[in-house]
Amino acid sequence: MSKRLVAIGGVAAGMSAAAKAKRTNPELEVIAFEKSHYVSYGACGLPYYLAGWIDSVEKLVARTPEKFAKQGVTALVRHEVVEVDYPGRRLRVAALDEGREFWQPFDYLVVSTGARPVVPPLEGARLEGVFTLRQPEDGVAIRQALATAERTVIIGAGYVGLEVAEAFRAQGKQVTVVELQDRVLPNADAEVSELVLQELERNGVEVLTGVQVEGFAGDGRLEKVLTSAGEIPAELALLSVGIKPNVELASSFGVATGPTGAIAVDDKLRTNLENVWAAGDVAESRHLLTGEPYWLPLGDIANKHGRTAGTVIAGGRAEFKGVVGSAITKIFELAVSFTGLTEADARAAGFEVKSVWIKSADRAHYYPDPHPFHVKLVYETSGRLLGAQIVGHRNDALRIDAVAALLHQGGTVEDLRSLDLAYAPPFSPVWDPLLVAANQAK
Amino acid sequence: MSKRLVAIGGVAAGMSAAAKAKRTNPELEVIAFEKSHYVSYGACGLPYYLAGWIDSVEKLVARTPEKFAKQGVTALVRHEVVEVDYPGRRLRVAALDEGREFWQPFDYLVVSTGARPVVPPLEGARLEGVFTLRQPEDGVAIRQALATAERTVIIGAGYVGLEVAEAFRAQGKQVTVVELQDRVLPNADAEVSELVLQELERNGVEVLTGVQVEGFAGDGRLEKVLTSAGEIPAELALLSVGIKPNVELASSFGVATGPTGAIAVDDKLRTNLENVWAAGDVAESRHLLTGEPYWLPLGDIANKHGRTAGTVIAGGRAEFKGVVGSAITKIFELAVSFTGLTEADARAAGFEVKSVWIKSADRAHYYPDPHPFHVKLVYETSGRLLGAQIVGHRNDALRIDAVAALLHQGGTVEDLRSLDLAYAPPFSPVWDPLLVAANQAK
């Protein structure tokens, strides 16, 4: 008799697991339950929908339930798994639009419940006009509200907050970013934050750092954001102060979380419970530089988690070895990319750290229309590379991937210095900026 | 008494060696002799000067003799070294603009005589209107001739020929590219050639492949190019059928060349003669995949050669470990990049080869203004990576550097598949094209 795989949550990880399992073993019965209206959507694209660069939120969907059905995968939206009877190998599902519930048996389970925005316990945080951004429905609501809003406040200057700041400016709105810490993009090192701040200000974003949001006020709907630096009049506010993994359902039937608060998994995405996998934003990864569990809730990681889990469940061979923490974000004309540890993170992790910060350019000195290109290199006193940060222009910040590759291999500054990188005047100075940084690293 | 370093040739390698040696050991006396009017110029920029995107050829110069003088380095242009008396540790220099010669003693010698275009023994190859492109002076002459030319023919569809084809189109000229082999960019694999051909034709370049040029005809100046496919009327023709290393002077005093025809050097750029180094386009490198000597006459390699030689001569520690053959070129809106071996090269080198060729995109499916992004991955049946080729759009082809980094480390397809690469919708699909290729490689 064929076995049944059920995924709880049908976005990146859940649908990747489902589709890959079915492709690997067509005998499997595969079902995914998704609480929202959409499966397989690219949440990372929501800021660009808000900017008006994508006309419909449906476009974020990679594959519809109909397409999954053609592959033999059942994807049910507006279906929330509300209880898991693990010993009975069944789960209780609420069909939200039908007002009914049913029990669904399973043999294999993938917990892919994702993460949700942190909403601080602030006065007025549930007022109309105060939003978080996570699901397509959030995007639709915000874009609707944006039509009549002129003054917007974004709370939190992480990369999502800043991507939305750009989106709101693209829509011609007044934007104030409020950040509790003393600089924007506080997960980057300070040199990077400084360049990002300049880019935000150059594009008309008002930035308040070291300012605490204390609440929201308004008569039914938002009229002002209350902060430690005074009131900011606004029709729309976005809370973007972080996310946390949706572990509650999994915890309720005995799935163990790790030190990060997300679900602990091995390199096959197995949890502590037999026949239960976890994948995506709800699950940890191993950080290859520290060897420790690490929570990296990003869409590309979720897809890889899902693909690995799906392969393993279907009886194939796959491993997810871990992450080095690579990421990139567009902030107006800047592209900021990361891999490995920042200097601050590396010190906190107990490494003996050195770093260099260099300014170069994105092309040969004589080639038209040059842009600055900054590299920060973080390394151990032994020479082992620990991380890099790039502030570039458009796609050139993808150069970070060369450092990411070296980090995976335990590479050193000397290894970086020796790299034969691609050069031509439209793409790079004759001394590639990564090599300039490596040459300066002593 | 201080020692004297003399560099024969003052472009990328020679001036890098000179400047680095002086910085490393300020006691050294450092002199570079350069035959042309310019030192330290970026020859790779000449096509963009021809396109009119750079208004003066002087802009290609990174540092003038005056700037070198401030660093304590003597750089003499229009000075040609015509003889080397190695046992006497002196060389004879012709001061071309002064009509005199002198003997220059040296303790250490860097041979950085570069390479020159191959000129096939064709009837009329010395006619007015028939050019090669290598030095700034060539660029000036061609740009001048271009002012009155309407119909141009480029012989050779390597990357320099194609960069110049774009330049001539940018100047509004009629361009015919004639290639002896059966496809453009014949050093790439056929899939890449096909996309490049489409881009050339889309931009109004006429391309004739499998056609042999038999000569040039005209009354004093070029009127037509004679080919195996008939005559092509033209006022300007560029011979771009390859280059060869300028080894003659070095050979004349006993410097040994290697199997590629360029000068054989070790990882400190030492030749077979004591106190004689060779660097840049005249010297070989080691190919890290085959372990064999390899000739890679590119500007970035020349700079690294020079830096290494300069450091070693000055008593410092440096090594140039070798190359993997990375390169990138802009062809209209395409960016084509390479690292490692092509499938054809890998087979020729005796590897048991597999490959995949995938089409992806340069951004998430929903992000505006997407462009195709193609990856070819070449690997051994054992899984060891041998090379990659990318046809992308602008800077995104720099992703090749991540593969280059893995090649340096002896990485496998599995290593590539495991990479944590930077993702955000404006920069990449959620499955990075490199990972898509790695996932498809069995």
Residue-wise DSSP of A227-283:
ETTEEEE-SEEEE-S-EEE--HHHHHTTPPB-TTSSBP--TT-B-SSTTEEE-GGGB
Contact B327 A423 (CB under 8 A): yes
Nearest CA of chain A to the CA of B229: how many Å? 33
Residue A407 in contact with residue A422, Cβ under 8 Å?
Answer: no
pLDDT digits (tens, 9 = 90+) for B82-135: 999 999 999 999 999 999 999 999 999 999 999 999 999 999 999 999 999 999
Percent of chain B at pLDDT above 90? 99
Q: Looking at residue A377, what is its pLDDT?
A: 98
Is the interface score ipTM higher than 0.90? yes
Q: What is the 3-state secondary structure (H, E, C) of A130-166?
A: EECCCCHHHHHHHHHHHCCCCEEEEECCCHHHHHHHH
pTM of the model: 0.97
Residues in chain A within 8 Å Cβ distance of B364: 42, 44-45
Contact B12 A327 (CB under 8 A): no
Q: Distance (Å, rounded) from C-alpha A137 to C-alpha A161? A: 18
Contact A399 B394 (CB under 8 A): no
Q: Distance (Å, rounded) from C-alpha A404 to C-alpha A302? A: 18
Using pLDDT thresholds of 50, 70 and 90, give the confidence band for residue B307: very high
The predicted model gives A244-253 an average pLDDT of 98
Joined tokens for residue A201: 């200000």
Alpha helices in A294-397 (DSSP H): 299-313, 343-348
Percent of chain A at pLDDT above 90? 99
Residues in chain A within 8 Å Cβ distance of B57: none
Q: Distance (Å, rounded) from C-alpha B243 to C-alpha A379? A: 41
Contact B299 A430 (CB under 8 A): yes
Rg (CA), chain B: 23
Contact A405 B405 (CB under 8 A): yes
Q: Looking at residue B394, what is its pLDDT?
A: 84
Residue A92 in contact with residue A81, Cβ under 8 Å?
Answer: yes
Q: Give B59's Cβ-side CA count (13 Å radius).
A: 18
- Among the partner residues A60, A300, A366, nearest to B45 by beta-carbon distance: A366
Q: Identify the architecture of domain B4-116+244-313 in CATH.
A: 3-Layer(bba) Sandwich (3.50)
Contact A367 B335 (CB under 8 A): no
Residue in A436, A322, A422 with CA at minimum distance from that of residue A374: A436
Contact A406 B404 (CB under 8 A): no
Nearest CA of chain B to the CA of A324: how many Å? 6
Residue B20: strand, helix, or coil: helix
Contact B428 A398 (CB under 8 A): yes
Q: Distance (Å, rounded) from C-alpha B36 to C-alpha B12? A: 13
Bridge partners, residue B390, by sequence: B337, B375
Q: Looking at residue B381, what is its pLDDT?
A: 97
Nearest CA of chain B to the CA of A6: how many Å? 23
Task: Give, in words, the CATH class of A4-36+78-115+244-313.
Answer: alpha beta
**Residue B252 pLDDT exceeds 80:** yes
Q: Looking at residue A395, what is its pLDDT?
A: 87
Nearest CA of chain A to the CA of B300: how many Å? 5
Name residue, tokens 């750009």: A166
Residue type, A431: W
**Residue A269 pLDDT exceeds 80:** yes
Nearest CA of chain B to the CA of A313: how many Å? 18
Determine the residue of chain B that is closest to A40 in CA distance: B430
Q: Which residue out of A67, A395, A434, A442 would a mutagenesis test of the B interface target, given it has the greatest number of B Cβ atoms within 10 Å?
A: A395
**Residue B214 pLDDT exceeds 80:** yes
Helix then strand count (H, E) for chain A reads 12, 25
Contact B422 A326 (CB under 8 A): yes
Consecutive H or E run containing B220: none
Q: Distance (Å, rounded) from C-alpha A179 to C-alpha A239? A: 11
pLDDT digits (tens, 9 = 90+) for A218-234: 998 999 999 999 999 99
Q: Which residue out of B317, B331, B337, B395 would a mutagenesis test of the A interface target, given it has the greatest number of A Cβ atoms within 10 Å?
A: B395
Residue in B326, B306, B288 with CA at minimum distance from that of residue B403: B326
Superfamily of domain B327-440: FAD/NAD(P)-binding domain (3.50.50.60)
Task: Please identify which of the residues A29, A37, A44, A421 carries the catalytic annotation.
Answer: A44
Residue B151 in contact with residue B235, Cβ under 8 Å?
Answer: yes
Residue B388 in contact with residue B400, Cβ under 8 Å?
Answer: yes
Consecutive H or E run containing A368: none
Q: Which residue out of A304, A331, A398, A403 would a mutagenesis test of the B interface target, given it has the greatest number of B Cβ atoms within 10 Å?
A: A398
Residues in chain B within 8 Å Cβ distance of A403: 405
- Among the partner residues A42, A427, A430, nearest to B364 by beta-carbon distance: A42
Residue A403 in contact with residue A416, Cβ under 8 Å?
Answer: yes
Q: Looking at residue B1, what is its pLDDT?
A: 67
Name residue, tokens 């910060």: A357
Residue B326 in contact with residue B400, Cβ under 8 Å?
Answer: yes
Determine the residue of chain B that is closest to A335 in CA distance: B427
Determine the residue of chain B that is closest to A52 in CA distance: B368
Residue in A49, A16, A44 with CA at minimum distance from that of residue A32: A16
Alpha helices in B316-361 (DSSP H): 343-348
Contact A430 B337 (CB under 8 A): no
Q: Does the annotation mark B44 as catalytic?
A: yes
The predicted model gives B182-197 an average pLDDT of 98
pLDDT digits (tens, 9 = 90+) for A378-434: 999 999 999 999 999 988 999 999 999 999 999 999 999 999 999 999 999 999 999
CATH of A119-241, one of 3.50.50.60, 3.40.50.300, 3.30.365.10, 2.40.30.170: 3.50.50.60
Bridge partners, residue A334, by sequence: A331, A393
Nearest CA of chain A to the CA of B337: how many Å? 7
**Residue B354 pLDDT exceeds 90:** yes
Residues in chain B within 8 Å Cβ distance of A304: 435
Residues in chain A within 8 Å Cβ distance of B419: 401, 404-405, 408
Q: Distance (Å, rounded) from C-alpha A278 to C-alpha A108? A: 11
Question: Residue-wise over B33-46: b if at least 16 C-beta within 10 A, else e?
Answer: bbbbbbbbbbbbbb
- Among the partner residues B299, B325, B398, nearest to A398 by beta-carbon distance: B398
Indicate the average pLDDT of chain B. 97
**Residue A1 pLDDT exceeds 80:** no
Per-domain residue ranges of chain B: 4-116+244-313, 119-241, 327-440
Nearest CA of chain A to the CA of B218: how many Å? 35
Residues in chain B within 8 Å Cβ distance of A421: 300, 326, 401, 404
| Nearby residues of B219 by Cβ (< 8 Å), 6 or more positions away | none
Residue B21: strand, helix, or coil: helix
Task: Please identify which of the residues B3, B37, B44, B270 carries the catalytic annotation.
Answer: B44
Contact B398 A396 (CB under 8 A): yes
Residue B209 in contact with residue B181, Cβ under 8 Å?
Answer: yes
Joined tokens for residue A53: 């660069």
Residues in chain B within 8 Å Cβ distance of A42: 364-366, 425, 430
Q: Distance (Å, rounded) from C-alpha B177 to C-alpha B210? A: 11
Joined tokens for residue B68: 């070198």
Q: Distance (Å, rounded) from C-alpha B394 to C-alpha A153? A: 35
Name residue, tokens 């070029």: B222
Residue B245: strand, helix, or coil: strand
A vs B: CB pairs below 8 A: 227
Percent of chain B at pLDDT above 70? 100
Q: Looking at residue A442, what is its pLDDT?
A: 85
